[in-house]
Amino acid sequence: MNDKFAKLDDSKQRQIINAAYREFTSETYKKASTNRIVEEAGIGKGMLFYYFKSKQKLFLYLVERSLAAAIRYIEEIDWDIPDVISRYEQASRKKLEAFLEDPESFYFLGSILLNDLDSLPEEQRQQILHMQQQTKERMFSGIDYSLFRSDVDPETALKLILWSINGYEQDLMARLKGETFQHINMTSYWDEFHHYLQTLRTVYYKGDECDGNG
C-alpha cells in the first residue's frame, strides 16, 4: 500500500507480511492483534502503523495481494480440456503450485473464504464471489462424457472423481505442511498423483471394453 513499505528489503517485507498473514489466518479480522503481529514480525509497534496506516489498511493490503495471486493462478489453468481428469489434474497442480509458492497467502485466503467473508469490503467480496462462480462454471462445462464407461451415471462418476481428487489434494497438503523447503522433489509426488489419476481412468473411463461385440 504505502511506498514506505515497498522500499524495504524483500526479506523484511516477507517477515511482516507473513506475520500478518498468520495472525489474520488464525483469528477473524476483529480479533486479530496488531501487537502479536509486530511481536512475531520482530518490529516495533510504531512501524506497522508507519507502513500501513491502520489495521484496516493492512488487512486490505493482504486481501488484495492474496486475491491477486489466486486469480493469477486460476487464469493459468486451461479450462478447455475435455478429458475432465486431465483438466482437474492440471487445476490441482496449479493449486498446489500456488500453495507451495506462498503457503501463508494460500491459507489466509482460504480462511477468509471459510470463516470471515463478512469482514471484507464490498468490492473484494464481489470479486471473490465472481471468481468462485466463474470457477464453478469452468469446472463443469465442456466435459467429454463419452469417455466415461456406459454402465455408470456420468454425473455420479464425476462427483466421485472430484471427491477423490480433493481427497488426494488434502492428503498431500497435510503431508507437505511440515516441509519448509521451497521446491522439494515434487516429481515423486506428481508421479504418485498421476498413478491415482490413472487408476481413476481405469475404473471410470471405458477401457478396452469387452461388451461382447468383438
Partner DNA sequence: CGCTTATCGACCACTCTGGTCAATCATATT
Partner DNA sequence: AATATGATTGACCAGAGTGGTCGATAAGCG
Q: How far is the CB of 147 from a copy of itself (least distance, A)?
A: 14
Among 114, 151, 178, 188, binds a copy of itself (CB under 8 A): 151
Nearer to DNA, 39 or 192 (CB): 39
User: Sign of the C-alpha dihedral, residues 183, 188, 191, 193?
Assistant: negative
Environment class of 161 (CB within 10 Å of its CB; exposed 0-12, middle 13-18, buried 19+)? buried
Q: How far is the CB of 116 from a copy of itself (least distance, A)?
A: 11
Environment class of 47 (CB within 10 Å of its CB; exposed 0-12, middle 13-18, buried 19+)? middle
What does the chain come to in residues?
A: 214
Contact flag: residue 98 with a copy of itself (CB under 8 A):
no
Contact flag: residue 210 with a copy of itself (CB under 8 A):
yes
Nearer to a copy of itself, 57 or 93 (CB): 93
Identify residues 55-84 at the interface with DNA (CB under 7 A). 55-56
3-state secondary structure (DSSP) of residue 214? coil
Residues contacting a copy of itself: total by CB under 8 A: 26
Q: Compute the distance between CA of residue 81 and CA of residue 78 in angstroms, rounded to an integer.
A: 7
Contact pattern for DNA over residues 22 through 41, marking x by CB under 7 A: ----------xxxxx-----
Among 50, 145, 163, 190, binds a copy of itself (CB under 8 A): 163
Q: Compute the distance between CA of residue 189 and CA of residue 195 in angstroms, rounded to an integer.
A: 10
Amino acid (1-letter code) at residue 28: T
Among 1, 14, 43, 127, binds DNA (CB under 7 A): 43
Q: How far is the CB of 1 from a copy of itself (least distance, A)?
A: 29
